[in-house]
Amino acid sequence: MKIGNILRHRRKMLGKTLEDVAYAAETDAGNLSRIERDEQRPSLDLLEAIAHALDTQVSALYQSAEEHSRTEVMEQSNHYSPSATAVDAQLALLLKHYHSLTDEGRSLAVNLISTLKKTHSAGK
């Protein structure tokens, strides 16, 4: 699973430079850049240090990477498969937007969807 894009996205979302994160993670900017481009895999210790520098946890980074992977698969499926449904396209779009949120935003999105479901169920 490629996690470099997730790291770059999180870093930019926080407005941090490569140098800021590299310094906090006790590595150099060139090393972090290679990791973000998925040219190099970080050790678990370094990944934990990078996650800490990005105010998150390794598990949250992998969750984001997994969601990103699923979204890409769905988008490819919708692009190449004539039998892809409109629901699949909507789900892919929802996952793409969900993936771009912060951890707090994701929690709010889940709560919003739960509330919508309850409201919709009550209206039937």
Three-state SS annotation for 9-66: HHHHHCCCCHHHHHHHCCCCHHHHHHHHCCCCCCCHHHHHHHHHHCCCCHHHHHHHHH
Confidence of residue 82 (pLDDT cuts 50, 70, 90): very low
pTM assigned to the model = 0.58
Instruction: Enter the tokens of residue 57.
Output: 């946890």
Instruction: Enter the tokens of residue 104.
Output: 């707090």
pLDDT tens profile 85-103: 666 677 777 887 888 888 8
pLDDT tens profile 22-34: 999 999 999 999 9
pLDDT of residue 74: 58
pLDDT of residue 122: 73
Fold for the domain defined by 1-124: 434 Repressor (Amino-terminal Domain) (1.10.260)
Residue 61 has pLDDT above 60, yes or no: yes
Say how far apart CA 74 and CA 79 lie, in whole Å.
8
**DSSP summary character for residue 120:** H
